[in-house]
Structures are given as structure tokens and as C-alpha cells.
Amino acid sequence: MKKQLLLATLFVLNLHILFAQTATITLRGKVLTADGQPASGLTLSIKGTRNIAYTDAEGRFRISALSGSSILIIKSGVSSEEQQVAINETSDKQLESITIKEKSYELNEVVVTGQYEAQSVKNSVYNVRSISSEKIKLRGATNIQQILNTEFGFRFSNDLVLGISDVELMGMGGRNIKILLDGVPVIDRSDSRESLNQIDINTIDRIEVIEGPVSVTYGTDALAGVINIITKGAGQAKFGVSARLQEETVGKEYGTLAGDGLHNKNISLNWRNKGWHALAGFSRNEFGGWNVPPKTTTIQEMPLITWWRAKDQYLGNAKVGYENAKFNLWYRLDLVDEKIASQTGMNPNIYVAKFPTYITNRYTHQLQSDINLSGKLRINGVLGYTDLQRKTNTIEQNFATGTKVLSTGQGEQDVAKFNTAIFRGVAYYKASDMISFQGGLEYNRDEASANRIKGNPVIEDYALFLSSEIKLGAKVSLRPGARFIKNSIYDAPPVIPSLNTKFILTDNLDFRLAYALGFRAPALRELYYDFVDASHTIYGNPNLKAEHSNSFNGSFVWSPINQNEIRYSANLSGFYNIFKNRIGFTQDPNDNTVTSLFNVGRFKTTGASLTNTFAYKALKADLGLSYIGRYNSFSEGDYNMAVPQFSWTPELFSNLIYNLPKIDASISAFFKYTGQRPGYTSDNTVPNGVKETKIGAFSWTDIMFNKNIYKRFTINAGVKNLFDVTQLSNTETGSSGPHGGGGGSVAYSYGRSYVLGLTFNWNKS
């Protein structure tokens, strides 16, 4: 009996010792930056386990660990640090504050677009521009156009007939710009990048822009550059709720909460627990239009230029995922339901008017994963699918009888369907501190169908891409790369090469130089879309070739002052692009009554910019200028006047943010001056005639005030378009395109507007 009791006692003691050695406790602590600020949004893990945690807005964290000796890994996106933690007790442990080597502003400048892994702007081989979540919040924006409108190199145009807008970057139009949502391409039904304003502004964390081709990594369309819209994560809180209500006048027109004006409403939820996380959001954006004529207006009385169509958007998103120190998997769904209301003037002879409605439904699915197989090898997978439908529904109303019927005119009842699928698998291997490799494969499939699209065409694209980042000592970094393509429809370039370089000339001066061959595949619409009505005969061309560009970019980044309270840096950059096989509209050589798309020739853009960033205590300022030239095709040939090779447009911009810590508020101003745009067009009044055209200069300024109240609320108020820009002068009196306004002016905005908004945030740790 004694022997049995002794054995039982020894057994219990062994269990106690074993339990004590493997007991799970909670580590609590705080992470600070090198300048003493809370380091929020960092990932922490316990080496050798799947335990993971995140720092909150105050830099605090809480993570589970086993008693004994553990290694705490702190990953900032700029670097990764390990800290040995001795845990001898069986109760929760409070750690002393941990200080990382990065300063607070460096954590805010982490970029992912085109990178092997998240890293700071300073360390990137690419010259990446990042628009932070802070700037987006301070803008009081209701769409992405309002954010980019005062960024240098960007210019927007508006199609008032269809109620959409397009973007231009570095002198090149929207079809040469790749739009990404969390790295997944966003499709549009036409050349215009109208999708930019169909993404919920409330779900955006930051926007990253790379100027110049990134075709090796992202494929077609990335000739002018890439705009990567990065959405918010679920946050570090266990549960959170946010809501936003913002009202804005449209010129002098406004209706309370509905009707005239701009009305933005949003609610979002987020949740996190033991590696699992989820979020969901819903927004409604209402634009009541501007200068809209009454429904009984006759054709002769219709305003041709200043009529902005009413728009109603419902935007939804949801995201769910799981992550630990080695693995990350998430799925995201984005929904768009948009209606744009239009009308034609009443025919005074028969008292009949038509009311078209353009309805867009977009569903975007993406499934992404990251797997860290070891400290050297990581695999990323992306699966995306987008379904886009654009309907035209036209009602014909007889004001004499009061009857309404569906109109039967060509194209007035139409459904266009587009869908695209993408799979991309990428492996990243870090052979040493001096050399890393990236290899991947990509498959794209595009399909379209509509009454005006011939058949049910499908384009499939297969690609293999390889690149490496080579560090020649501490001062030189090289990134050569190549993309190999096989396309089911057109003859794609057999190989797309690129070479990016970075030289650290001094501790404060970096130099980047890059070359890339860009390409843009002809879109399904350009290949197969036919548009024929009483005044148009436009045919697609299935024999189009892909556009090519040879692009050269260079930049100097100088950072002479980098202290705790004062920072200054300057970025001088330039670019030169030569395009071949550029796709454009022209008359069919066999039938001058027919317009079609052809590879019409070459095009060039060039320019330079200088940006200065300054921060002193509560003041942050960006000031810069750019000078962009666009090629004049009339400079080649025998014409009645000498035409310069390039037409130049200057830009001057400034962003100022001043924080008022005593009242927990800030004042911000965003300014941009865009000089006149000269150009040339045919003059049919004289043989071989050419005449100069000019679109007038304009200045755009937004001023906003933001203040936090009662910890959970933020109010914002301000004025947009301070100088009341509505139309730009235009010496070309003809139509500027299929839906151009002509008439000697270009519609740019609906005028000065006033903003008042309220945001609510609540989080449970």
C-alpha cells in the first residue's frame, strides 16, 4: 500500500512538473517606434508556434506563450525582429516596452505593390507613391477621383452623356493604366476606367501608385502605370463598429439627406478571434445630378454641357480569413449596384421624350493565400473572378397622353456582359541577403457578350514571369525580369523584359533607373464591338495587334534632414515613353463612311517632376511641380504649319496638413494648378490644314477641418473646389469624341461644394 501511495505521489508530482513546464500564459506589452510613438498594426508571433497577435492603436499587444524560454517575433512590414523572452512563472507576464528601429513615419510608408515582400518606400527598387489612410480620411472624399484629383500627374475627363469619368496618368489615358484591387485586376466594359469610382471609399486603407510599365509582374494595360487600391483589414480589436454619414452640396443645389447634392452613408463591422477574422461593410452613395433640366424641357432648351446625370450607388463588401505565423488565407467579395439616370429633350412636335437608365452590376470575388514554408521560401496564390453586367433601359414618355412604353430604337434596350477570371501563383525565394528570386505563372480568361458584340468571344492568356533582386554590396540593387506570354487571339510579344536598378550614392541620396517593355492587349470591345445608329458606323477590328512601349524612368531621392521633429526630402524624376502599334479610331481605307480601330502608328510621352516633402512638429507639407509633354502626330508630314513634336502642360501642387493636438483636430488644404493643354487638329478649310487647339488652365483647391469628439466621434467640414471650376475653355469647337461636349468648352466639375460629415468608431479589445 505504501509503495502504491508513493508511486501515485510521484506520478502526480511529475504531472505537476510537466504542466508547469508547458503551462500557457499571456504576455502583455507595448511596442514603440524609434521616435517614441506607438507602433500600431504590427504582427507578433511566438517562434515555433502558431500563436499570433497584433498591436493596437496604442501599440499594445497580448499574445499566448508557453512558460519557459520563448522567442517573440515582431514584424513591421519594414523589417522583422526577434526578442528572447524568459517566462518562468505560471501567471500572465507584463513585458517592458519594446522599441523597434523604425520611426513612426517609416511604418506609414510601407508598400507592397511590385515588391517581393512589404517594405519601406526608401528600400523599394520601384519608385512607389503611397497615399496614406490619414490623407484619405482628411480629404472627406466620396470617391477615388476626389483623392487623385490633386495628386500630380493625374488628370480626369468626364463623359456627361453616360455619366462616367476617365483618368489619365503621365499623359496617357485610362486604357493604359492598370487598376488593381488588393493586387487583383479590375475590369471595365470600355476604355474608360469608370471602375475607379465604383469602389467603396470607406473600405480603402491606402492607394499605391507606380508610374511606368510593370508588365512583367502585372501583365497587360500597365503601360502608364499601376494604381493598386489596398483595402482595410479586420483590425486588431476583437470586435468593432464604424459608421459614417456625410452630406455635400453640389454647386448651390442640396436636399437634406436625399435628392439634390451628394449623400454618403456607410456602416462597417469587424471581428477577430484566435487567428480568425472577418469584416463586412455597406455603403450608399447618392448624387442628385447638377443643372438637370425638367422632364418637359424641349430639345432646344436642353443644357448641352453642364448637365451632370444623377447617380445612385449601393456598395457592399465582406471579407473572412484565417492566419497564423506561417499561413494566411482570406476571401473577399465586393458588390456594386449603380444606376445613372438620363433623359433626352422632349420633341415639341409629338411631345415625346426618352429616359435612358444605365445600370451596372459588378461582383468581384478574390481568394488569396500566403504560406511561409521556411525563412527563405514563401508562396502566394491569387484566384479572382469578376462578373460585370451593364444594362441600358430606355423609357419613352408621351407628355400629351401620359403613356410610358419601352423604346425600340437601336441600342436603347441592351445588356452587355463581361466576365474575367485570373489565377496567379508566385514563389519567393531568398537565397541570401544578397539575392532573392521571384517566379510565377498566371492565367487570364476574358469573355463578353452583348447585342453589339459579334458572337460570344473569349480571350485566354497564359504567362510565366521570372525576376530576381540582386544586391551588389550595400550600395547597388538590380532587379531584372521577364514575362513570357501565349495568347489565344492575338500575337503577343514573345517576351516582356524589364530592368530596375537602385544606387545608394550617399546616406541621403538614392538614384533609381529603369527600363521596361510595356504592352497592352486589345480589349474584347476593340476587337468585336460594333456600334451602328443614325449618326455612327463604328466597327471593331479582330485583326488588331498588341500595343508596345519602350519606357525609361529615372529618379533622384534626397533626404538630407531626418530627425525626430523635422524631416525634409526631395524627389526629382523623369520619364520617356515610345509607343508602337497604338490603337486608335480612324476611317476605314476601303469605305470612308465607316470608322474602325486600327494600329494607327506611334505615340510618345515625356516629362519630369519635382516633389518636396517637409514635416516639422505638427505641420506636414508636400509641394511640387511637373511638366508633361504629349506627342503631336502632325509633327510628321507636310502640313501648312510647323508643329512641335510635343505639347507641354505644367502642373503645380501642394498638400498641407496641420495638426492641432490641444483640441485634437487638424486643418488640411489640397491645391493643384493645371496649365493649359495645347494640341493640334485637322483644319478642313485649307489644303493640308492643321490648326492649334488649347484647353484652358484651372486651379483646384479643397480645404477641410477634422476634429475628434467624445473619443469615438469625428466631425469633418470644409469646402471643395474653392475656385468654383465648372468648365474649361476650349478653342476646338467641334466634338471632342463620340460623347464629347464640343461647343467651345469642356465640362470639368459641378462647381464649389460644402461638406459636413460625422464618423463613429467603437472597438472592443
Residues 72 and 132 in one domain: no
Longest dimension (CA), the chain: 122
Report the CATH number at residue 18.
2.60.40.10
Q: Is 48 exposed, middle or buried (0-12, 13-18, 19+ CB in 10 A)?
A: exposed
Residues 407 and 456 in one domain: yes
Segment 6-51, tens digit of pLDDT: 444 444 444 444 444 456 788 888 998 887 888 887 888 888 787 8
* Residue 105, domain member (yes or no): no
Distance, CA of 350 to CA of 347 (rounded, Å): 6
First to last CA, the chain: 54
Segment 459-502, tens digit of pLDDT: 999 999 999 999 998 899 999 999 999 988 877 788 999 999 99
Distance, CA of 465 to CA of 424 (rounded, Å): 10
Q: What is the dihedral of CA 399, 405, 411, 415, to 10 degrees?
A: 130
Residues 648 and 714 in one domain: yes
What number is the average pLDDT over the span 425-432? 94
Residues 92 and 120 in one domain: no
Residues 87 and 160 in one domain: no
Task: Decide if pLDDT at 248 tops 60.
Answer: yes
Segment 72-95, tens digit of pLDDT: 888 876 667 787 777 666 667 788
* Residue 731, domain member (yes or no): yes
**pLDDT value at residue 533:** 58
Residues 9 and 130 in one domain: no
Q: At which residue does the C-alpha cell 480620411 appear?
A: 137
* Residue 265, domain member (yes or no): yes
Question: Final residue of a domain: which of 100, 124, 157?
Answer: 100
Report which of 135, 136, 116, 134 is spatially closest to residue 126, judged by C-alpha positions.
Answer: 116
Distance, CA of 745 to CA of 751 (rounded, Å): 15
**pLDDT value at residue 244:** 97
Determine contact, residues 156/196, Cβ cutoff 8 Å. Answer: no
Other beta carbons within 10 Å of 480: 15
Distance, CA of 487 to CA of 461 (rounded, Å): 5
Question: How many structural domains does the chain have?
Answer: 2
Other beta carbons within 10 Å of 97: 12
What number is the average pLDDT over the span 615-621? 91
* H-state helical runs in 634-724: none
The SS3 call for residue 422 is strand
What number is the average pLDDT over the span 575-598? 81
**Domain range spanning residue 437?**
110-764
Distance, CA of 445 to CA of 467 (rounded, Å): 24
Segment 533-547, tens digit of pLDDT: 555 677 888 888 888
* Residue 740, domain member (yes or no): yes
* Residue 625, domain member (yes or no): yes
Confidence of residue 703 (pLDDT cuts 50, 70, 90): very high
Residues 148 and 90 in one domain: no
Residues 57 and 191 in one domain: no
* Residue 616, domain member (yes or no): yes
Question: Final residue of a domain: which of 32, 67, 100?
Answer: 100
**Residue 462 corresponds to which cell in the numbers above?**
497564359
Distance, CA of 61 to CA of 98 (rounded, Å): 11
| Integer CA distances (angstroms), 654 to 138, 379, 674, 704, in order | 15, 41, 12, 14
* Residue 125, domain member (yes or no): yes
Residues 288 and 334 in one domain: yes
Report which of 354, 278, 358, 268 is spatially closest to residue 313, judged by C-alpha positions.
Answer: 358
Report the CATH number at residue 630.
2.40.170.20
Q: Is 543 exposed, middle or buried (0-12, 13-18, 19+ CB in 10 A)?
A: exposed
Report which of 551, 567, 457, 542 is spatially closest to residue 497, judged by C-alpha positions.
Answer: 551
The SS3 call for residue 412 is coil
**pLDDT value at residue 60:** 87
Segment 182-224, tens digit of pLDDT: 999 998 877 778 888 999 999 999 999 998 888 898 888 888 8
Distance, CA of 646 to CA of 639 (rounded, Å): 16
* Residue 701, domain member (yes or no): yes
| Integer CA distances (angstroms), 746 to 166, 305, 461, 697, 699, in order | 14, 8, 38, 11, 15
- Specify the pTM: 0.89
Question: Final residue of a domain: which of 73, 100, 127?
Answer: 100
Q: At which residue does the C-alpha cell 480603402 appear?
A: 204
Other beta carbons within 10 Å of 34: 14
What number is the average pLDDT over the span 674-691? 88
Q: Is 455 exposed, middle or buried (0-12, 13-18, 19+ CB in 10 A)?
A: exposed
Residues 351 and 437 in one domain: yes
Residues 247 and 296 in one domain: yes
User: Which residues lie closer than 8 Å to 247 by C-beta, 6 or more apart?
Assistant: 254, 256, 257, 261, 262, 263, 264, 755, 756, 757
Mean pLDDT of the chain: 87
**pLDDT value at residue 757:** 97
Q: What is the DSSP string of 184-222?
A: EE---SSSS-GGGGGS-GGGEEEEEEEES--HHHH-TTT
The SS3 call for residue 711 is coil
**pLDDT value at residue 527:** 85
Residues 623 and 646 in one domain: yes
| Integer CA distances (angstroms), 738 to 221, 237, 540, 595, in order | 23, 51, 15, 11
Distance, CA of 588 to CA of 679 (rounded, Å): 24
Segment 152-178, tens digit of pLDDT: 889 998 888 777 888 998 888 888 889
